[in-house]
Amino acid sequence: MELLKLIWRNTLRHKLRSLLTAVGIAVAVLAFMLLRTVVTAWNAGVEASAANRLITRHAVSFVFPLPYAYRDRIARVPGVERVTFAVWFSGVYIDKNQFFARLAVDSNSFFDVYPEFLVPPDQLAAFKRERNACIIGSEIAQRYNLKIGDVMPLEGDIFPGRWEFVVRGIYRPRDKTTDPTSMLFHWQYLEEQARKEKSSREGQVGWYVSRITNPDEAGALSASIDALFANSRAETKTETERAFQQSFLSSMGSVMTAMDVMSFVIIGIILLVLANTMIMAARERTHEYAVLKTLGFTARHIFVLITGESLILSVIGSAIGLTVAFPAVEGFQNALPKGWFPIFYIEPRTIVFGTIAGVAVGLIAALIPARRAMSIRIVEGLRYIG
């Protein structure tokens, strides 16, 4: 108990230096948490990918459509359980700063292939009955204060004109990694308008999603699907949902990798800040440690004194950084344009990393000054003038 009191008094001996060290550690931990959260949010789509889903798109580019007639041919491939499709609608809601996914989907099969979108049965039934109905994510409903029966007017860009959709359902995400910010409506409604206008997009869809029986056969099934449309006017490229998501992230892959590396470099910065403080403190107390040794204190006691002080500073700074990180992440998300990161939260493993780093840095930073204080002879310590 007396040793603990001595550790605490040593920590508070230079209050300003201890305060600045703790604040420096807190800022570094906060930066680590923010960077890690951005990286995990960017990769959330990959983490949410299902192993039993394949994406079939145009072989040249995702922006080119595929014929609606492909659906039945894909469905007949052995090993494919269910096939659905979607079209990227885009459009403008309120203004161009309000971004979220707006998709025209096959209402009869989409929610079978994507069970993580939880829609009450009565709302789903009402959605299927009404041609211009839509289903929106719970976060979209909360963000724009929308409820069942409200009208969402959109100005089309890819599909020109004014479109009015009636909210007939609000889905909840089943998992934390499920995007709660999508708007889904009937592809048939889009197709009817294309027929009226005799548009070139008539009979076209954006991409197909296949639910397969055995994820281990994903490669073989992908090859089988693509073989169906080889040498056609619209050849396909089929891949797992995870690979499909990663292809979107590849353009920013180097930036995300740099941010990921920087988040761990910050741990090294924390170590340097704390190690510098502990080395200064130990050098100033060389004479005191020699006196303690003459009074019967062992090398183990000296080690505990220095390591305990280092751990206290590290834990206090880390605790402050972890505490501030939660409102900081929320404020960072609010400051970003809506829709940039549909899923943005601090993962439990990020908290664990931050906590472990705080303790580990406290131990490592004490090693050099503790080793020096333990090894110095009493006579040399008493003669030392700092």
Asked, for residue 240, whether it belongs to a domain, the answer is no
In this structure, the answer to whether residues 370 and 262 fall within a common structural domain is: yes
Helices 348-365 and 253-284 meet at what angle, rounded to 10? 30
Q: Which residue has the tokens 């664990």?
A: 352
Q: What is the per-residue pLDDT for 3?
A: 72
In this structure, the answer to whether residues 73 and 203 fall within a common structural domain is: yes
In this structure, the answer to whether residues 78 and 166 fall within a common structural domain is: yes
Asked, for residue 245, whether it belongs to a domain, the answer is no
Q: What is the per-residue pLDDT for 382?
A: 65
Asked, for residue 299, whether it belongs to a domain, the answer is yes
Answer with the one of 174, 205, 234 that is the final residue of a domain. Answer: 234
Q: Residue 99's closest CA among 183, 185, 187, 206?
A: 183
Residues spanned by the domain of 10:
2-45+252-383
Please name the amino acid found at residue 161.
G
Q: What is the per-residue pLDDT for 339?
A: 53
Q: Residue 286's closest CA among 169, 373, 356?
A: 373
Beta strands 101-105 and 133-137 are unpaired
Asked, for residue 239, whether it belongs to a domain, the answer is no
In this structure, the answer to whether residues 316 and 202 fall within a common structural domain is: no
In this structure, the answer to whether residues 17 and 119 fall within a common structural domain is: no
Q: What is the per-residue pLDDT for 125?
A: 93
What lies within 8 Å, CB to CB, of 360 at 6+ separation is: none
What is the distance in angstroms between the CA of the first residue and the CA of the last residue of the chain? 29
C-alpha pair distances (Å), 91 with each of 23, 85, 94, 156, 228: 46, 19, 10, 4, 33
Q: What is the per-residue pLDDT for 223?
A: 92
- Written as one string, the DSSP assignment of 263-300 is HHHHHHHHHHHHHHHHHHHHHHTHHHHHHHHHTT--HH
What is the number of domains present in the chain? 2
Asked, for residue 51, whether it belongs to a domain, the answer is no
Q: What is the per-residue pLDDT for 45?
A: 55
Asked, for residue 112, whether it belongs to a domain, the answer is yes
In this structure, the answer to whether residues 225 and 309 fall within a common structural domain is: no
Beta strands 80-88 and 161-173 are unpaired
pTM: 0.66
Asked, for residue 350, whether it belongs to a domain, the answer is yes
The number of beta carbons lying within 10 Å of the beta carbon of residue 167 is: 22
State the Cα–Cα distance between residues 181 and 101, nearest whole angstrom. 7
In this structure, the answer to whether residues 40 and 146 fall within a common structural domain is: no
In this structure, the answer to whether residues 180 and 269 fall within a common structural domain is: no
In this structure, the answer to whether residues 72 and 9 fall within a common structural domain is: no
In this structure, the answer to whether residues 190 and 293 fall within a common structural domain is: no
Answer with the one of 199, 234, 269 that is the final residue of a domain. Answer: 234
Across the chain, which has 386 residues, the per-10-residue mean pLDDT values are 74 81 85 81 64 89 88 92 91 81 90 92 92 91 91 86 91 84 91 77 88 90 92 89 71 64 76 76 72 76 82 87 84 64 72 82 81 74 61
* 232: helix, strand or coil: coil
Q: What is the per-residue pLDDT for 165?
A: 93
In this structure, the answer to whether residues 24 and 156 fall within a common structural domain is: no
In this structure, the answer to whether residues 85 and 215 fall within a common structural domain is: yes
Asked, for residue 152, whether it belongs to a domain, the answer is yes
